[in-house]
Chain A
Amino acid sequence: MSTLESVREGYRTFDDQRYAPFVKGVALFALLAALPYIIEIDVAGMELAATLSLKVLILTVIYAYTAQSWNIMSGYTGQFSFGHAAFFGVGAYATQLLLTDVGLNPWIGMLIGGLLAGLYGLVIGALTFRFNLKGHYFALATLAFAELLRFVVTNMSELNGANGYFKPFPRDYGAEYGLAAFQFQTDLPYYYIILGFLLVVTVVSWAIKNSWVGLYFFAIREDERAAASVGVPSFRYKLVGVAVSAFFTALGGAYWSMYFNTIRPDTVFALFKNVEILLPAVVGGPGTLIGPIVGSFIVTPVSEVARTTFTDINGLDRIIYGAFLVAIVIYSPRGVVSWPSRARALWSRLKGDEEVSE
């Protein structure tokens, strides 16, 4: 049967095409791995590192990572979360609490934090999806769940209230500086660890996008009622999305707690943390694989450099975040990564070509 063969052939070319992004991905991550050395190159007596320091790079990759995690839920299934700080904070607090009070290795504490965040995600999902909250109402509900945790933690003396935790030294939990202790005396190893995190979540995202789960996610994002009427169990798949997303976001929080010395409710559960997590994905292109990474490299360095340069203007970084958010939502809701194809379309229109891609 010839059509059947052509379908199989189609499946095979589909498989081949799947591996084309692999080459691009390797190139991208090679570039990211080389960045700490690139910023130290001396160009006309000026090092890039003078303004774009390794610290800023680390922060940029952290937010690329959390945006990639946010994307799995909000970019793929279309359930826009404004409360991912909840998961971020749970990861940070679980890791530090287990480390300080129990002496549990942060690598294990981090996974427990991830599972707890996933569980919290399931609770939020079960409550909101059951009552079919959508759009703005859903976003506000997720924000409420995040703020709820901030208030609870701030007022719980068992969790040191507003003071939070101070990261112990490695010897306090029987370890030496190094990979096993998740603590280093220089920034460079920290950079490669968060880059490794980003690699893992990007590969997971890619696998989801190319699986049946991804097809269901996108069907739900496209038209949830239609998805239900063809028989996609949308409630279940939305829960899968929120749980996976929460798990990875929590690992980001755990990393944050190990890289910075202290965590407090008003840093890891901060209202603004919600924006910092989602903005790179929204700017870069929600639902795309590269969008969160590109977006973070646009948003984070600009706001960080502005914040540290113009120290007398309080809150400049937030103004910049706000400006990005407004501009991108109005002018390019599909994000920066849609610009090349839009430019090509514009170019071919200018040339007067009949053929317009997309």
Chain B
Amino acid sequence: MLELEGVRAGYDEIEVLHGVDMHVDEGEIVALIGSNGAGKTTTMRTICGILSPSHGRITYRGEEIHTKPSHEIVERGIVQVPENRDLFTNMTVMNNLLLGAQTDEAIANREENLAEMLDLFPRLEERKKQRAGTMSGGEQQMLTLARALMGEPDLLILDEPSIGLAPHLVQEVFDVVEEIHQQGVTVLMVEQNVQQTLQLADRGYVMENGRITMSASGSALLEDDSVVEAYLGV
């Protein structure tokens, strides 16, 4: 479904990704793990068209997307939930949700999707007229997820969805991700909670210094000594 081949990218003069190869198949949950500064977020941004690669190519359903601007990538069904949440904090919860619908199809189904989101996240229903910036971190994260789903993604890209959340909220986020996946959405996620992520994921990639160093099924990575040592703190 999504394929990265020899992708090099970075910020201005500084190259962060030194040739990344990875792929995501339809219906999978794929995890990308690695220490801080390994290039995980840069990978996400490059896929979404916020950064453009200097070398290599990114294809989605056989079509090159790395030359396209981000709104055209969204139109193809790739929706990202960025690490810093990127909510419109001075706008209402409702308007934030409405802004999630950008493709023609998503706009056509906006009312139904909105109702579904308010069912899935009852807290948002209570707060729909409130400004997004006045909500708690957990609620904001739920809003970010709900806004992404308003876009009817085929591939949902999550960058550290549980960052900065209390433990019980972390579990809630993982539950929501699982539910989204069961509805047929392919998920690519970057996470710090390596244990929970690898339990949920079909496959995982380990990234170090801008390169993929390991690739295996989620459960295999969980049992790998070097992964355990490096990321599970045993």
Contacts and interface: CB of A to CB of B under 8 A. Distances in A.
A11 B151 CA distance: 19
Interface string B96-137: 001110110000000110111011000001001000000000
Interface in A216-253: 216, 218-219, 222-223, 225-235
B114 A7 contact: yes
Given A1-B115, A11-B111, A230 B91 contact: no
Given A7-B118, A231-B75, A223 B88 contact: yes
7 closest cross-chain pairs (CB), A and B = A231-B74, A231-B102, A226-B86, A4-B115, A233-B71, A3-B115, A222-B88
Interface of B: 48, 50, 69-71, 74-75, 79-80, 82, 86-91, 94-95, 98-100, 102-103, 111-112, 114-116, 118-119, 125, 128, 147-148, 151
A215 interface: yes
Contacts of A234: 71
A229 B80 contact: yes
A7 B111 contact: yes
Contacts of A226: 82, 86-88
Contact of A229 (B48, B89, B114, B118): B48
Contacts of A232: 71, 99, 102
Interface residues of A, number: 25
Contacts of B82: 226, 229
A215 to B, nearest CB: 6
Contacts of A342: none
A8 interface: yes
Contact of B100 (A11, A228, A230): A230
B71 A228 contact: yes
Contacts, number: 79
B147 to A, nearest CB: 7
A228 B119 CA distance: 27
Interface in A1-57: 1, 3-4, 6-8, 10-11
Contact of B89 (A7, A216, A222): A222
Nearest to B150: A230
Nearest to A218: B91
A17 B100 CA distance: 23
Contact of A231 (B70, B111, B112, B115): B70
A223 B133 CA distance: 13
13 contacts: A1-B115, A3-B118, A3-B125, A8-B111, A218-B91, A223-B86, A225-B50, A226-B88, A227-B88, A229-B70, A230-B74, A230-B79, A230-B86
Interface in A189-235: 215-216, 218-219, 222-223, 225-235
A7 B75 CA distance: 25
A281 B94 CA distance: 27
A3 B70 contact: no
Nearest to B134: A358
A234 B74 CA distance: 13
A223 B115 CA distance: 26
Contact of B50 (A4, A228, A233): A228
Nearest to B102: A231
A288 to B, nearest CB: 14
A230 B103 contact: no
A4 B111 contact: yes
A10 B88 CA distance: 21
Contacts of A1: 115
Contacts of B50: 225, 228-229
Nearest to B118: A3
B48 A219 contact: no
Given A1-B115, A229-B82, 8 more contacts: A3-B118, A11-B111, A222-B91, A225-B50, A231-B74, A231-B102, A231-B103, A232-B71
B91 A219 contact: yes
A4 B119 CA distance: 9
A7 B115 contact: yes
Contacts of A233: 69, 71
Contacts of A222: 88-91
A230 B118 contact: no
A165 B102 CA distance: 49
Contact of B102 (A4, A225, A230, A235): A230
Contacts of A229: 48, 50, 70, 80, 82, 86
A158 B40 CA distance: 60
A235 B69 CA distance: 10
Contacts of B114: 7
A217 to B, nearest CB: 11
Contacts of A225: 50, 86
Contacts of A3: 115-116, 118-119, 125
Contacts of B100: 230
Contacts of B151: 230-231
Contacts of B86: 223, 225-226, 229-230
A216 B103 CA distance: 14
B115 A219 contact: no
A225 B45 CA distance: 12
